[in-house]
Structure 1
Amino acid sequence: MTTPIYLNALRAFEAAARHHSFSAAAAELHVTSAAVGQQVRTLEAWLGISLFNRASSGSVRLVPTDVARAALPDIREGLERLRTGLERLKEGSMNSGLTVTVSPAFAAKWLLPRIERFQLMHPQMDVLLDTNLRPLDFITEGMDIGVRYGTGRWPGLTAIKLMDEEMYPVCAPSYPLLQAGRLSARNLAQATLIHDLSMTGEPSYPTWRSWLDAAGYPEVSAEHGLRINNSAAVLQAVIDGQGVALGRSVMLRDDLAAGRLLRPFGAVSCPLGFAYYIVHRPEVAGLTKIQAFRDWLLAEAADG
């Protein structure tokens, strides 16, 4: 006897268990809540067991039963393997789309000025660029590949170092406190310090206070200034002459080369324990589109 495969029902059950809600699962699967409920009931009827215990006190929160909770890891792995298999089937002609996740700052300052070269190399591939400040779940968000900034350790993802970088102060060439392209200690104390808050959650990430102490300016206060939570916006504020910021070398490269920014302390910089990494799920490493975009990123970084 052939065993029926309730694929849609398994997808509905997995999504409902993850969200603890039929309605949230329905939104993810682009169906109605009633349809998700019916799929789950169909699966329960075929199995002859209940998959959810509804919480008491009138709550509609779905709580998987013990046996359902024990089966979920295998079901999730199976669904993900099916998804990967379908991706492999679509890879034959490179006509499938490529979803790429990067931060807004990295997109604006590094990727977008270069992405046309990739599209000229692979005109048949549609690239969907997702710029997001928060790290995305590659499975639930449907991401193929991305670039993340950090220490290189993200559970469930393969990380390949793309670029190291260092940090140093920058300002606009027209900044009024400059003298022959340099900032004296006296003028630095009067300058508006622009603080990048995008890495606030990383205690080891350099701040103005740590840079001033390391560079020999412990008397300069780092308490004042302008605070912005986006690295690209920080650099734009600097280009507009609003102050001096600690910039990251990868983000600064094009603006320094074009003369929109300069380094008022010369070669003084501090290395970072962070870098840019190409990230993707291990099981998609062999896909043609993943290899193509990964190799292109590495070549671009090597070219400077």
Structure 2
Amino acid sequence: MKSPVHLNALRAFEASARHQSFAKAAAELHVTPAAVGQLVRGLEEWLGMPLFVRNAGGRTRLVATGDALRALPEIRAGFDRLSAGLERLQEGAAGGVLTVTVSPAFATKWLLPRFERFQAACPDTDVRLEIHARPMDFAAQRVDIGVRYGAGAWPGLVADKLMDEEMYPVCAPALLHQEPPLRTPGDLGRVALIHDLSMDGHADFPTWETWLRQAGATGVAAARGLKINNSAAVLQAAIEGRGVALARSVMARDDLAAGRILRLFPEIGGTRALAYYAVYRPESASQPRLAAFRDWLLQEAALQHAGARRR
């Protein structure tokens, strides 16, 4: 038997089946539709069987045959393996870039203020920081490592816990000492509440209603106030005296240490929230740049935990 057909023919077949169109496959592969059609026909000739039902019932879209549909998952898995192999070859290349994804709030309030320490520890590692509010597809978008907030389970990713988190009320110093002062949780009925909607819809993410119930506060309208879908902006609103925010402890740490905000009612305790995890694909775990960044994240998280315990 002759050697297998060129990979370009398999790519043309896979793209044509996915798009159900030679023209759309051609646009993706940056060739002409005629070239795609020729590659597919060559593959069909080599196999001795059709891969698409053409002009059936006046269809304008390509329809893959049953045999073709059954083969597609294996072909796509093969391309994924090839991509992973190429990434392995690039791991040791000089000047390689580590792609890191985090949320906007985590970047602003935690990662960027500490990033200089990573650069000092690993001066030869260049980092491309992808800041997105929604989780990225690590394989499709070639992400090496990221930090996610949640319960610790994401399909296809290893998750190493960095930090637990709790939530508690904070406000600007001037607001705390206004007249009459905020002495008990029930006094929160006199000020605007600032709500963090960054995890809106997640059942395990605490809300003002959760905290007020824990504090035993009655007569406070938990749903009213200012609602913001970014945790960094929630803290900024509190710093500016817009009201009392239910803050995430990891995000609020530096602002508390600097005195820009104060924690209210610390004797009540915080409400346990979700946690932060370093996440990456298992096949990338041995990549030296990734391992160095993951270890640095774990070290910084341990330092923060130790500092919190000393206080």
Task: Classify the secondary structure of the residue corresponding to 1:139.
Answer: coil
Q: Which has a greater percent of helix?
A: 2
What pairs up with 1:66-85 in 2 under 5 angstroms? 66-85=66-85
Q: Secondary structure of the equivalent of 1:115?
A: helix
Code of the residue aligned with 2:83 in structure 1: it is: R
CA distance in 2, matches of 1:209, 1:278: 30
Matches within 5 A, 1:19-38: 29=28, 31-32=30-31, 34=33
Counterpart of 1:225, as a letter, is G
After superposition, what is the alpha-carbon deviation per residue over 1:6-47, rounded to whole angstroms, capped at 9, x for unaligned?
A: 3334344444545556666566x5625736555545444443
Once the two structures are TM-superposed, the CA of residue 285 in structure 1 deviates from its matched residue by 1.0
Shift of 1:249: 0.9
SS in 2 for 1:174: helix
| CA contact 1:193–1:226 (8 Å) conserved in 2 | yes
CA RMSD of aligned residues (A): 2.8
Structure 2 residue 166 is matched with structure 1 residue 157 = no
In 2: Cα distance, 1:46 partner to 1:201 partner: 53
- The one-letter code matched in structure 2 to 1:7 is L
Contact 1:99 1:129 in 2 (8 A): yes
1:253/1:40 CA distance change after superposition, 3 Å: farther
CA contact (8 A) 1:94 1:288 kept: no
Compared CA separation, residues 15 and 233, structure 1 to 2 (3 A): farther
TM-score by length of 1: 0.87
1:157: Cα distance to partner?
Answer: 0.9
Mark the CA change 1:37 to 1:151 in structure 2 (over 3 Å): closer, same or farther: farther
Partner of 1:123: 123
Give the CA deviation at 1:290.
Answer: 1.5
Identity of aligned residues (%): 59
Residues 242 and 42 (structure 1), Cα distance of their counterparts in 2 relative to 1, 3 Å cut: farther
Mapped pair 1:141 → 2:147: no
How much has 1:3 moved relative to structure 2? 1.4
TM (norm. structure 2) is: 0.85
1:152-301 alignment, distance < 5 Å? 152-175=152-175, 178=178, 182-267=182-267, 268-272=269-273, 274-301=274-301
CA contact (8 A) 1:147 1:279 kept: yes
SS at match of 1:175: helix
Partner-residue secondary structure (3-state), 1:224: coil
| Post-superposition offset of 1:120 | 2.5
In the alignment of these two chains, the number of paired residues is: 302
Distance 2:183 2:41 in 1: 71
Distance, in Å, in 2 between the alignment partners of 1:269 and 1:252 is 13
1:103 is matched with which residue?
A: 103
Which amino acid in structure 2 is aligned with residue 244 of structure 1? V
Larger mean Cα displacement after TM superposition, 118-127 or 29-38: 29-38
Q: Residue type of the partner of 2:95? A: N
d(CA) in 2 for partners of 1:249, 1:85: 40
Identify if the C-alpha distance between structure 1 residues 191 and 301 changes in structure 2 by more than 3 Å, giving closer, same or farther: same
Segments of structure 2 that go 5 or more residues without pairing to the other structure are 305-311
Instruction: Give the 5 Å matches for 1:52-91.
Output: 52=52, 63-91=63-91
